[in-house]
Amino acid sequence: MRRVIIIGGGAAGMMAAIKAAENNSSVLLLEKTNHLGKKLSITGKGRCNITNAADIPEIIKNIPGNGKFLNSVLRAFDSSDVIIFFESIGVKTKIERGRRVFPLSDNAHEVVNALINKMTELGVEIRTNTRVTDILVKAGRVIGVEVGNKAGNKFENADAVILTTGGASYPATGSTGDGFKIAQKLGHTVTEILPALVPLETEENFVKDLQGLSLRNVKVTLLSDDKRIADEFGEMLFTHFGVSGPVILTLSRKAAFLLNEGKTVELSINLKPALTPEQLEARVLRDFEKFKRK
């Protein structure tokens, strides 16, 4: 029987463990935090946005950067396969606005528990609070992993090691960039790591007074050195430190690259992009007249 070691107990690690175990492998899953699926538990505001039911070209179009890179992967296991997989382990799903797929229960913990229960059923060995520091190689072949801070703590006799540590996006959930360092030690090239889908912090303090204000159907323009870089239309949100929401997350990748180059970045928000200035003035005057006693 093949022995497979998986580094990282997030969504990818747990699904890899299940598939490897279903293919008659002995599986050991190592997670450095105290429990599995930490990031998965908070996705979709705690509801867990499992996938999107749009077709593959539409999904690729909405992936920031080089979405075409994922074309072959998505065709091997597309959104319908994801839905079928979760239904098979007891998670009933529903499709909402924007073709977003959620568990019927609206509970991310149900998804995490279903994955853990399936691994347990298949005999996957799970070890939490176990931080992998290196992948062991002998005669050009991966044979295991080194764990902890003390040299000599190892899990060996592996036929394969699967690295599913996530990125560096959310340190509190365990995504601290460990996987990049491990991959680099093996000889992989790691490009500079920059934020891709994140809220943005603003210099202005007035945003604190608007904390929690959500805006719909607005147009946000990203500017750099007074030049228009990109526009997004949809929902945004003011936070205690800046701005967030779908349109901001989409623009954040371009903003991160510009800031990394030392350029000035600004956001321009059009609250009523569907109205001409004349229409907006008429509407404001109408509302002043309608609500003049308030």
Domain annotation covers residue 94: yes
Burial class (CB in 10 A: 0-12, 13-18, 19+), 190: exposed
Burial class (CB in 10 A: 0-12, 13-18, 19+), 251: buried
Higher pLDDT, 152 or 138: 138
Residue 220 sits in the same domain as residue 105: no
Cα–Cα distance between 95 and 53 in angstroms, integer? 7
130: tokens are 């176990």
Residue 166 sits in the same domain as residue 248: no
Domain annotation covers residue 162: yes
Residue 143 sits in the same domain as residue 225: no
Cα–Cα distance between 219 and 131 in angstroms, integer? 44
Predicted pLDDT of residue 152: 66
Out of 137, 152, 185, a domain closes at 185
- Structure confidence at residue 98 as a pLDDT band (50, 70, 90): confident
Domain annotation covers residue 52: yes
Domain annotation covers residue 190: no
Over range 5-23, report the average pLDDT. Answer: 97
Residue 9 sits in the same domain as residue 148: yes
Residue 167 sits in the same domain as residue 215: no
Query: Whose structure tokens read 């228009």?
Result: 228
| C-alpha R_g of the chain | 23
Over range 102-109, report the average pLDDT. Answer: 97
Residue 41 sits in the same domain as residue 174: yes
- For residue 272, what are the domain limits? 200-290
Domain count across the chain: 2
Predicted pLDDT of residue 151: 62
